[in-house]
Structure 1
Amino acid sequence: MKSTTRRTLAAVLTGVAAAVGAAATPAAAAAAVPVPVPLDGAETALGMELPEVEGELPVPKPGAPEGPRYVEGRLLPERTLPQLPVSSGLPGVDLRQPLPRVLGDEFDHAAVDAPAADLRALAPGLSLDAPLSAPDGDGFGLPAAKLPQAGVLSPVVQSVPTADLGVGPGL
């Protein structure tokens, strides 16, 4: 293979790799992925007005765990197995259901709009302590025996979901 052909092929491959990398970045940065629900075919087959449904699915993003903390008087760190933070969202939905001639001659609608809400969570963690105390100067530098300690750090979930319910003219 000639050197000019190799250079041309390398330039093309570099351009393709850059285009693929640039195209993948915005999708990975999105907080939620829209999910349309196509019901047009069912409307045609049934000969009636069906609801319009759109949804959003959140993309979970794991965070960095807070490292173990060393406490004076303990042989093992305070958080032996740290809690893993995860930020994501609750799925969102936008639903519009036609209500024929309920509020007038036109098609009216009932709507539910529940946008995707932020969700923060911490996975459970574990805190352990050894059955020995720290070395003591009074006991010739030897550790004393004590009861082992174990604790479970409880999981945490925080979110504030909202929803709007309404009735109005048109679809």
Structure 2
Amino acid sequence: MKPTTRGTLAAVLTGVAAATGAAAAAPAVAADTVPIPVPLNGVEQSLGLRTPSIAGQLPLPLPGRVDGPRYVEGRMLPERIVPQVPLSGGLPGADVRTPLPRLLGEGAEHLGLTAPAAGLRTRTPGVSLDSPLGAPDPHRFGLPGLKTPQAAVLAPLLETVPVANLEMGAGT
């Protein structure tokens, strides 16, 4: 086999191996939340009483696409000189279940609270400025005209819909 054929074959095999490795790693990276269990089994065994079960989810924040400055005709400075940065992620979730003594009567053996991780979209505040100088004026020998300076703060954004479920019932 010629050296060029061997080099080409090695490059193709390396590319296939890299693509296979990336495909295998993709599901682990694509997770939206990280589960956080709270182990209380040792307390239950050492003290001899029923303990609550606690688990949580911690969402991973993901940056979005930044809409950078836009140049507009007639303005000295671009719009959105300090752009807004979007982030998406979520609020942390929780799942808590605790056993209850039969103080509340038959059928009330546990109290549970489930609050799944909720989606969260945010956008940082931004700034848009315009200088007091206008466009060059041909009637004034190319000198810019004066105008009122402008400044604007772009409002931040926070969108989420949290959900929680509180229950009491039989079973543990």
Give the TM bin, normalised by the shorter chain: 0.7 to 0.9
Shift of 1:160: 0.8
**1:100 equivalent in alignment to 2:98:** no
**Structure 1: gaps spanning 5 or more residues:** 1-6
1:24-103 superposed matches below 5 A = 24-103=25-104
Shift of 1:135: 1.6
Deviations 1:82-141 (A, max 9, x none): 101101000000110110213446771111110110000001212121231112233233
Q: In structure 2, what is the Cα distance between the partners aligned to 1:163 and 1:137?
A: 65
Q: In structure 2, what is the Cα distance between the partners aligned to 1:163 and 1:81?
A: 37
Partner of 1:3: none
Change (3 A) 1:63 1:49: same
Residue type matched to 1:155 in 2?
P
Partner of 2:163: 162
Output the TM-score relative to the length of structure 1: 0.82
Change (3 A) 1:19 1:54: farther
Q: Percent identity?
A: 55
More divergent stretch after superposition (67-76 vs 100-109): 100-109
Residue type matched to 2:70 in 1?
R
Q: In structure 2, what is the Cα distance between the partners aligned to 1:26 and 1:161?
A: 26
1:16-27 superposed matches below 5 A = 20-27=21-28
Partner of 2:131: 130
Residue type matched to 2:154 in 1?
L
More divergent stretch after superposition (120-129 vs 66-75): 66-75
Output the TM-score relative to the length of structure 2: 0.82
**Structure 2: gaps spanning 5 or more residues:** 1-8
Partner of 1:141: 142
